[in-house]
Structure 1
Amino acid sequence: MNSNYSTTILVVALVLASVAIAGVPGAVSAQESGEVIGQPDISFATATGEVSAGTADELSIAITNRGSIDKGGPSQYENRVTTARGMTMSLDDSNVPIDVQAGELSIGNVPTGSSQTTVPIEIAEDAASGTYKIPVEYEYQFSRVVDYDAYGTDYSDFTRTRTGSITVAVTDDARFEVVDITGTAQIGDDSDVSMTLRNTGAEIARGATVGATSRSNALTFDSGGPSATSYVGDWESGETRNVSYGISLAPDATQRGYTLDLTVEYQDANGISQSSEPMTAGVEAIDEQAFAFSDVDTSLRVGEDGEITGTVTNQGPQSAKSVVVRYADESATMVPIEESVAVGSLDAGESASFRLPIEVTSSAEASPNLIDFAVNYRNADGDRRAYDKLDVRADVAPERDQFTVELAEQTIETGGSRTIAVDVTNNLNETVTDIEARLFADDPLDTGDADTGYVESMEPGETVTVSFELTAASSATPDKTYPISFDFRYDDQRGNSQLTDTMRVPINVVESSGGGLPMPLIIGAVVLIGGAAAVLWYRRQ
């Protein structure tokens, strides 16, 4: 019993020991040895399609390492011998019409499989259609042989330099260039700009459109957006096409050059959609159209019609057609009799005179005023435009009588009547017509029936004499001054009837001069004579 038990324990112990030894990593391999032999196998290809002459492009290069195993072994050692470590490469463009815009390229480790790298290139304008081989010189390090045994690993490392090539296909498709630009962009206005482009390629561009995009928010197209397109149709090699765009430049834009990016979209000879290389076009900005006033003169007075005269000058930079000077103020006390006056077309630097009649209401105050004006005009395209950065300083004079009156003789005898001659002067700055003058007097003065006078017309500053009848009652106190009053109704220059305020003028009453009896005695004598005549007539009867 004890013998069998001991044998069982020994067997179990041996089994456990063998399992433990098998479970230790490398326990078996540590007893192995061997040799792995191999090397990288590098090739190159172009992942880019056809490129066009006269363009810049990115050349995508595919690098493939297929690896070569002459004697196999553990995978880590096979990977070691097939990996190209620290690989560099350079392209020799000396014999091709392709300029490689890069020197030596550092690729790094290249295991088996494929990877890609890109280099910028420029294809010459005169590059003929066809394929071109570009030599590729590349260098890397690798382990040719790996020897391994229980005591370690030994690597046989080498540096290898090789030459391969890539093939680039060049096509002479439609290509384009900007030949000429005409037109400028005026600040604060719409303008037209035209461009001439040429197809410098060897192929036709079918159904071509030219797209333009502004790089500045200040410059927009007539659509209101930052870009526009122009259709030009089929475009043969060597032909030129003109495209025009309506553009707008903001009023606060800076006077400088503005850049447009141009692209031609078309179909090639095979019906495949193509997009040209981007082109640029510069558009020069010119200053905002401006006008100025000079030699301004004003004759404004409270309660009267006046005028503002002056000279308007087109300061350029463009000619202006159908120029109109316009009253643009919103004052409630100044009313334009004519809101605008046309002065014709003005070239840049040319001037013209203007006159605008203005009515100043009676509620206005006599003070200096700044009056807003504007100039309306048509630009070179016939579009209406306005320049509203103008004002005029005008002094408004105090209100005055429209007419002045002066008596040639300012006395009248008590108890007497006489014709008074009144000198009436037109104080207004305009000719007035149908002037009716009226005389007013209070007791002891009386106007009788001849209290009005009429004048057909009076020029500004003109004086006429109007006669009236005036009587002083015998009750008038000698050596006393009494007032008489006048008012005038007239038609102004616009045909509107106007009535002046009443004007008072003094007249002196003087003692009756000798050579006549006092009025009471005269009346008494008449009564006595009449009574005597009546008595005599009665007796004769």
Structure 2
Amino acid sequence: MTASGHRRVLTLAGAVVLVAVTLGAVGVADAQLNRGDPSLDVYLPDNEVDPGTEAELAVQIQNDADVSAGTGTEGVTTARAVEVEVTDDGPFEIPTEKTPIGSIADGTTGTANLNVRVPETIDPGTYEIDLRVRYSATRQESSVGDQRVRRSTRETVEVRIADGVRFDIDEVWTDVQPGTTGDATVVLENTGSETAYGARATVTGSGGVTIDDGAAEAFLGDLEAGDSEMVTVDAAVAEAVGGGPKPVEATLNYRDENGVERGSRTVDGSLDSLSAQSFSIEALEDTLAVGYDGRITGTVRNDGPKTLTDGVLVAEPASDSLFIEEQRVALSELAPGETESFVYPTDVSGQAEAGPRQVRFTLEYADGGRTTASVGPVSERVVVDDQRDAFTITSEDIRIQQGSTEVISLTLTNERPETLSNLNARLYTDSPLSSGSDEGFINELAPGESDDVRFEVSASSRGMPNTYRVEIDIQYDTERGDTVLSRTYQHPVEVEERTDDGDDGPSLLLIALVVAALVGAGIWWRRRD
């Protein structure tokens, strides 16, 4: 081959190589790719919680991605469908196992909020929570296709239980009952390991408990570790909630050893109120009748649980036909189980109808607070009897002859259920009867007791034999001190024809014979002269 031919071959070969290189460069440009990998780091910046609380831990996940090829790297550096799973919650309780976050781009941070329940008795120290972080990523992007992967990493975060000031409600003492107000003593204790300086407590109630009309504040001063302080508050328990434990809460503000102002978690306590006060009415009796004064009597029993002081039993009739003049009866101090008798003088209207009635009893007492408590009402049944006379008046048959005077005896019987005194009986007569002694007196008559009153009654000689009547009314005093005039009673008196029985002097025939003899003697004497 000549030199010129050799040069042509070399020139052609160079051209082929140049074309190949050019075509290769164009192919590489067409097939350019992006390659990268998200890199997730887990942090828990605010990791301190208190015992006995439910806290929210904000777990932060930061993406610091790696790029190995390409310039459009957003697709290969973003972590997608990020999810945090709790694999071991240590001494805590975390109800939600998995928490979705979404996408985390390169250089940004996502947050998983975990609700953590901290045991009441956990010791100060540092504890671990194990997590698994899952996410999707595009490892490589190119015109030919993308390469997607699903990855997971295991992470651990630390949770710290502070070794400092810690408060608890140790005890709550009270004798408050539903529907009453009184003192409650709350014992606050520093269960931590450091001194709380200038501690101030705020105590509140809920669930039917009201503390000082909303909240009570108290200054505790410096409270060293293990020390406790009592706070007395005014507690009111709603009547509708009944007895048993009621929630009480307290929060405290204090300064730590560095003089930094701090606040405690809210601590819970229990106010165990007494059961509601109760009473009962026993041995209830009544002496009620239409139109008369009577009494309602019985005993009241303190059924507890507290001793009653300054007690007042209030009786209220449920009917307008009953009138209790003094409805409030003061009671002596009654311990649980003790009883005391009561008497309510009661008037019954003359227009009332006989039958049962309701009387409501309410018990008022001092509850030890600023108010007077009441319990009830308790309804009891009394019976109004038909109207009946206060007296019955009896006697043997009373007979008076024409022109004669007799002392009659009437027997008065007390039909009232109470003792009557100073009984003045007065007799009224009409012609042909008259009375020279028309008043009688009885000092006292117990219920059902009888006694006699006597009156002098005369019958006119001109009166026809017949049955006539005398009238009697009685003025008397009741046990309540009232003076009452009874209705007018009528009693029969028989006026009989006067008869001579030989014992009362000479008969009419004898008188006539004597008169005739005297007349005859006079005539004879005048004729002799």
TM score, norm. by length of structure 2: 0.75
Conserved 8 A contact 1:210-1:231: yes
Conserved 8 A contact 1:93-1:99: no
Q: 2:468 aligns with which of 482, 491, 494?
A: 482
Q: 1:208 aligns with which of 170, 191, 200?
A: 200
Quick one: structure 1 residues 252 and 236, their matched pair in 2 at CA, closer, same or farther if it must change by over 3 Å?
Answer: same
Q: 1:176 aligns with which of 167, 170, 173?
A: 167
Q: CA deviation at 1:111?
A: 1.9
Q: Counterparts of 1:145 and 1:490 in 2: how far apart (Å)?
A: 122
Conserved 8 A contact 1:230-1:244: no
Q: Counterparts of 2:325 and 2:50 in 1: how far apart (Å)?
A: 71
Match of 1:127 in 2: 124
Deviations 1:72-114 (A, max 9, x none): 43x2xx12332345656678989x9888777676655432122
Q: Counterparts of 1:133 and 1:389 in 2: how far apart (Å)?
A: 61
Q: Counterparts of 2:471 and 2:258 in 1: how far apart (Å)?
A: 104
| 2:495 pairs with 1:504 | no
Q: Counterparts of 2:387 and 2:472 in 1: how far apart (Å)?
A: 18
Residue type of the partner of 1:491? D
Q: CA deviation at 1:243?
A: 3.3
Quick one: structure 1 residues 256 and 164, their matched pair in 2 at CA, closer, same or farther if it must change by over 3 Å?
Answer: closer
Conserved 8 A contact 1:209-1:266: no
| 2:100 pairs with 1:113 | no
1:125-204 correspondence runs (5 A): 125-128=122-125, 142=137, 146=141, 148=142, 152-153=143-144, 171-183=162-174, 186-190=177-181, 192-204=183-195
Match of 2:265 in 1: 277
| 2:397 pairs with 1:397 | no
Residue type of the partner of 2:165? A
Q: Counterparts of 1:99 and 1:396 in 2: how far apart (Å)?
A: 70
Match of 2:477 in 1: 491
Match of 1:466 in 2: 453
User: Bigger CA drift: 118-127 or 227-236?
Assistant: 118-127
Q: CA deviation at 1:507?
A: 0.3
Q: Counterparts of 2:455 and 2:70 in 1: how far apart (Å)?
A: 145
Q: CA deviation at 1:60?
A: 1.8
Structure 2: segments with no counterpart, 5+ residues: 1-25, 519-529
Q: CA deviation at 1:155?
A: 5.4
Q: CA deviation at 1:411?
A: 0.7
Q: 2:342 aligns with which of 341, 350, 354?
A: 354
1:327-338 correspondence runs (5 A): 327-329=315-317, 331-336=319-324, 338=326
Quick one: structure 1 residues 59 and 418, their matched pair in 2 at CA, closer, same or farther if it must change by over 3 Å?
Answer: closer
Quick one: structure 1 residues 318 and 153, their matched pair in 2 at CA, closer, same or farther if it must change by over 3 Å?
Answer: same
1:306-385 correspondence runs (5 A): 306-329=294-317, 331-336=319-324, 338-379=326-367, 384-385=372-373
Secondary structure of residue in 2 paired with 1:153: coil
TM score, norm. by length of structure 1: 0.74
Q: Counterparts of 1:343 and 1:336 in 2: how far apart (Å)?
A: 18
Q: 2:38 aligns with which of 37, 40, 47?
A: 40
Conserved 8 A contact 1:83-1:112: yes
Secondary structure of residue in 2 paired with 1:202: coil
Q: CA deviation at 1:239?
A: 1.5
Conserved 8 A contact 2:244-2:275: no
Conserved 8 A contact 1:54-1:122: yes
Deviations 1:337-367 (A, max 9, x none): 5434344222222233333332334333332
Match of 2:401 in 1: 413
Q: Counterparts of 2:374 and 2:157 in 1: how far apart (Å)?
A: 65
Q: CA deviation at 1:36?
A: 4.1
Q: Counterparts of 2:147 and 2:180 in 1: how far apart (Å)?
A: 78
Q: 1:295 aligns with which of 267, 280, 283?
A: 283
Secondary structure of residue in 2 paired with 1:328: strand
Residue type of the partner of 1:80? G
Q: 1:67 aligns with which of 65, 68, 72?
A: 65
Secondary structure of residue in 1 paired with 2:474: strand
Residue type of the partner of 1:126? D
Q: Counterparts of 1:176 and 1:327 in 2: how far apart (Å)?
A: 51
Quick one: structure 1 residues 251 and 412, their matched pair in 2 at CA, closer, same or farther if it must change by over 3 Å?
Answer: same
Q: 1:79 aligns with which of 54, 60, 74?
A: 74
Q: Counterparts of 1:133 and 1:365 in 2: how far apart (Å)?
A: 85
Conserved 8 A contact 2:84-2:99: yes
Q: Counterparts of 1:373 and 1:142 in 2: how far apart (Å)?
A: 81
Residues paired across the two proteins, number: 479
Deviations 1:385-405 (A, max 9, x none): 333332332222333333333
Conserved 8 A contact 2:251-2:267: yes
Deviations 1:13-66 (A, max 9, x none): xxxxxxxxxxxxxxx999655354544344444342654567553222332224
Give the superposed CA RMSD.
4.1
Conserved 8 A contact 1:408-1:423: no
1:238-257 correspondence runs (5 A): 238-253=226-241, 257=245
Q: Counterparts of 1:135 and 1:387 in 2: how far apart (Å)?
A: 59
Conserved 8 A contact 2:87-2:97: no
Residue type of the partner of 1:187? P
Q: CA deviation at 1:258?
A: 3.5
Q: CA deviation at 1:228?
A: 2.5
Q: Counterparts of 1:424 and 1:518 in 2: how far apart (Å)?
A: 41
Q: CA deviation at 1:298?
A: 1.8
Quick one: structure 1 residues 287 and 439, their matched pair in 2 at CA, closer, same or farther if it must change by over 3 Å?
Answer: same
Residue type of the partner of 1:310? G
Residue type of the partner of 2:413? T
Conserved 8 A contact 1:54-1:127: no
Conserved 8 A contact 1:47-1:59: no
Q: Counterparts of 2:150 and 2:393 in 1: how far apart (Å)?
A: 124
Conserved 8 A contact 2:40-2:62: yes
Deviations 1:120-166 (A, max 9, x none): 456784324xx8898877566655665x5xxx335577777767776
User: Bigger CA drift: 380-389 or 355-364?
Assistant: 380-389
